[in-house]
Amino acid sequence: MAKTVGVVMTEKVVAGLLEDHKVVGELKHFPEVSDEGHDAEENGGLIELPADALAELLCELIATLAPAGSGVEAAGIAVPGIVRNGVIEDSPNLQQLKGANILGTVKNALAARGLDYNMSVLNDADAVAAGVAATRGQLDRLVRVWTIGNGIGFGRFPYTDGPWEGGHTVVTLDPKEKYCACGGKGHLEGITGHRAMRLRFLDLEPDEVFAHARKGDRRCAEFVELWHCALAAATASQIHLEGPGRFYFTGRDISRLDLPRLKEHLYQMVKMSPLQSYTVEVIPEDPTLSLIGAGAAAEHAGR
């Protein structure tokens, strides 16, 4: 199996050497992690870096993990936002990357160091889907993944052209539902995203909302029901558009998901018998999935 490098850039940058779809050796971090396990700088440091500096950082990490003669064949980079042909068309969380040709810039910088690899740049949720496919021997199947965290990502493998911004699926026509970071009304992320919940409940943290719901608080319980209904609605929309199959749910805040409740809502939403052969599965958060997926996607693209 080919050696690859995976790089994931979200609130911070993590890079690793991969072999046989497994992490080999220590991961590289920016900001660096201290001995106590904390970032040496604030995660917001990425927001302060211009696009060229971020591209140079990615290049340095890849060159460090894969010097000449290392046997590495491919390097994949996962980033938040809409990515097409290596260009980041939009990235609300790292706005300086909007319009940046990360693939071309990093590839040219590596070439200047005498390094030439098959490369790909993909959305971070797509990288999670590729990681699930690679680690479960499903690279020949359609894999769809919801990632639940500060925002909501929708990942798909294999990649097919399109923005695939599933977190911005419209799940309600209520004009008061305007908590999505993009400014759109009625979006899934505006209900289920961590940031959106903090805006909605100014007196409670998201984890407290779910805890209070379990204790019978009516306001919180009604919201938790809406939270599950919205995620089910977005999943049902994908089933109606692309067909049934297996859906995975993971991410930093996956513990909030009550799978039986989600299944009940889906049962009420998907009624056509040819579309009912879907399955849903929760995967505990695994930060290496997106790394593995970034490398696997680059390897797959090279073929």
246-295 pLDDT, tens digit each? 999 999 999 999 999 999 999 999 999 999 999 999 999 998 999 999 99
Longest Cα separation, the chain: 62
Q: What are phi and psi of 120, to 5 degrees?
A: -145, 150
Kindly list the domain boundaries of the chain, sorted by start residue: 3-123, 132-282
| Residues facing residue 76 across a β-bridge | 6, 120
114 closest CA partner among 78, 163, 62 = 62
d(CA 153, CA 126): 8
According to the model, what pLDDT value does residue 121 have? Answer: 95
| Residues facing residue 14 across a β-bridge | 8, 29
- Over residues 161-188, the pLDDT tens digits come to 888 899 999 999 999 999 998 899 999 9
Does residue 4 register a pLDDT over 90? yes
d(CA 101, CA 19): 27
Q: What are phi and psi of 195, to 5 degrees?
A: -60, -45
Mean pLDDT of 125-149: 94
Note if the pTM is more than 0.75: yes
d(CA 42, CA 37): 13
d(CA 92, CA 97): 9
- CATH fold group of domain 3-123: Nucleotidyltransferase; domain 5 (3.30.420)
Q: Could you count the other beta carbons within 10 Å of the beta carbon of residue 22? A: 13
3-123 and 132-282: identical CATH topology: yes
For 132-282, which CATH superfamily applies?
Answer: ATPase, nucleotide binding domain (3.30.420.40)
d(CA 93, CA 195): 12
42 — pLDDT class (breaks 50, 70, 90): very low
